[in-house]
Structure 1
């Protein structure tokens, strides 16, 4: 399943909002502004594609990083790896968004690998978090939580989770007003757009409430994974009500949803019906995302799959 997802991502053609931009960079090189501002590792991958004479090489490499690291992390850390990988493929803001925001998705895959597979190897994980920022600078947000990793091993009451989810959107405007004068370079990203992504915020809030309910009733959830996921939900609610770009900081922690999914349904009976319902729900979520994206009048970012013509000619 992981290899199939990799092929879908690596061999796509003009799929994703930023595909044309990255293809142009990999074909003709970066302009002077991007040459100075782009992260070193991402720039190096584009240079490799440029020198190879095959722009699609960049998407093959980026897909190997994203799909490879996420899939390996799920295989190592999930009690039901196949379900976790399917969850990664179907859940909103996970796989499909990686087709659009390529550099940040690579950084998110490295962060997730560091926080899961390397969770007991603190120095190695720290090195990877630093490297993730060289793929996309926003990944260094994870470093803010590094000194408090031990806290993520501690159980948190449902009351505190719900309070954080409720307060986050309420204080986001105040936070922006405080930090915006000190982040002039990013002031454009802090412009408020209250209608951006509210449906996805509500969806993840509902998912979070469902997980908390199952934890209370019957499920035994890994504390560290639950805390990281809830951190992502709170960050999505806090930043997403400003605009979609700020809300993207949550993308580093939302992939824990696909790890929690098997733990949530493991003890719910009858098993066969619960798993069929889960698979059906994941399929519906995937179809809904593709359908909604197809209604965009500017561009359908997930339009029917097309193979890159250069590969056909080979």
Structure 2
């Protein structure tokens, strides 16, 4: 019941709303319907035929919220903490209000983690392919199946991070030559998404590197979170000076921070320390949420804070 209520208040906001609305209502040919993402095209078609434009947004919202909620409930050591981080961190839930079909794809691959854990590649591949029918970028999540069991030591991570700029150049050349339609996502730009929020993820990465052994403690699942998170962060850093490519693709991995943070806190033996840190995280999350909504009040339409009341 809570999911249905939550979804009803979520489905019609964000800076991409007009593009989606016009594609459905007026039959405009945009990348929403021209990229061959068949699940998204199907929902657009159903919305057009029924005359219920917001049906598209509601279905995507329900899929996103349901799959994230279910995965958090099953895998997080602290459900409320993970949920608050998901809702308040600017790159996660608030971002889903705009990049709608992308977050549907992200939710499906996130839910599919259970098949990485169980080492059932075919089932995981089915979920990734299904996700790619909403947004093709989901195909990058196939990599997570193969990094899950790796022993990513600090020295190896440092070498990898050092090589990222070279890999970025090679990747860009391949995009320009073979996939020119996607050049817009890799073009150099001074305006990027998530440039401030990524600092929080980098700080988290430093903590994870320092306390790696204590956090993982031989737990295969936590090691999987760890590897997937760092794969996502590496993708962001690889394209840190370019368009939206890094920000978007990295989310398939960095979203696992909502599970990792709960794991980090669960390793603290003193309850008082855990309580103090948790309160600090809650306060930080609330501040990030209010800041994001306040500076983006024209973007996140339904949200108002006490600073917006006249």
TM-score range, shorter chain: 0.7 to 0.9
Distance change (3 Å), C-alpha of 1:13 and 1:227: closer
The residue that corresponds to 1:309 in the other structure is none
Shift of 1:113: 1.1
Partner Cα distance (2:227, 2:147) in 1: 9
Distance change (3 Å), C-alpha of 1:226 and 1:304: same
Distance change (3 Å), C-alpha of 1:133 and 1:33: closer
The residue that corresponds to 1:158 in the other structure is 154
The residue that corresponds to 2:212 in the other structure is 215
Distance change (3 Å), C-alpha of 1:24 and 1:11: farther
Partner Cα distance (2:71, 2:48) in 1: 30
Partner Cα distance (2:215, 2:185) in 1: 42
The residue that corresponds to 1:126 in the other structure is 125
CA contact (8 A) 1:114 1:129 kept: yes
Q: Please tell me whether residue 110 in structure 1 is matched to residue 108 in structure 2.
A: yes
**Could you give the per-residue CA deviations for residues 105-157 of structure 1, whole angstroms, max 9, x where no partner exists?**
101111111123563232211111111111111111223x26xx354213221
The counterpart of 2:54, out of the listed 53, 56, 76, is 56
Q: Please tell me whether residue 181 in structure 1 is matched to residue 164 in structure 2.
A: no
* TM-score, normalised relative to structure 1: 0.83
**Could you give the per-residue CA deviations for residues 164-198 of structure 1, whole angstroms, max 9, x where no partner exists?**
33442465245323542222121222211255243
The residue that corresponds to 1:199 in the other structure is 196
- Kindly report which structure 2 residues correspond to 1:58-97, keeping only aligned pairs within 5 A, or say none: 58-97=56-95
Shift of 1:271: 2.2
- Kindly report which structure 2 residues correspond to 1:1-314, keeping only aligned pairs within 5 A, or say none: 3=2, 7-12=5-10, 15-31=13-29, 35-116=33-114, 119-120=117-118, 121-143=120-142, 145=143, 149-169=145-165, 171-194=167-190, 196=192, 197-216=194-213, 220=217, 222-292=222-292, 294-295=294-295, 300-305=298-303
CA contact (8 A) 2:64 2:107 kept: yes
Aligned to 2:211, the other structure's residue is in SS state helix
* TM-score, normalised relative to structure 2: 0.84
Of 279-288 and 60-69, more deviation after overlay is shown by: 279-288
Partner Cα distance (1:283, 1:303) in 2: 23
Of 260-269 and 273-282, more deviation after overlay is shown by: 273-282
CA contact (8 A) 2:10 2:61 kept: no
CA contact (8 A) 1:153 1:224 kept: yes
Partner Cα distance (1:56, 1:127) in 2: 28
Of 91-100 and 153-162, more deviation after overlay is shown by: 153-162
Distance change (3 Å), C-alpha of 1:14 and 1:60: closer
The residue that corresponds to 2:307 in the other structure is none
Partner Cα distance (1:23, 1:124) in 2: 33
CA contact (8 A) 2:11 2:97 kept: no
Aligned to 2:91, the other structure's residue is in SS state coil
Distance change (3 Å), C-alpha of 1:277 and 1:303: farther
Instruction: Report the aligned-residue RMSD.
Output: 2.8
Gaps spanning 5+ residues in structure 1: where? Answer: 307-314
CA contact (8 A) 2:11 2:57 kept: no
**Could you give the per-residue CA deviations for residues 21-40 of structure 1, whole angstroms, max 9, x where no partner exists?**
22233333343775443511
Of 260-269 and 118-127, more deviation after overlay is shown by: 118-127
Partner Cα distance (2:9, 2:209) in 1: 39
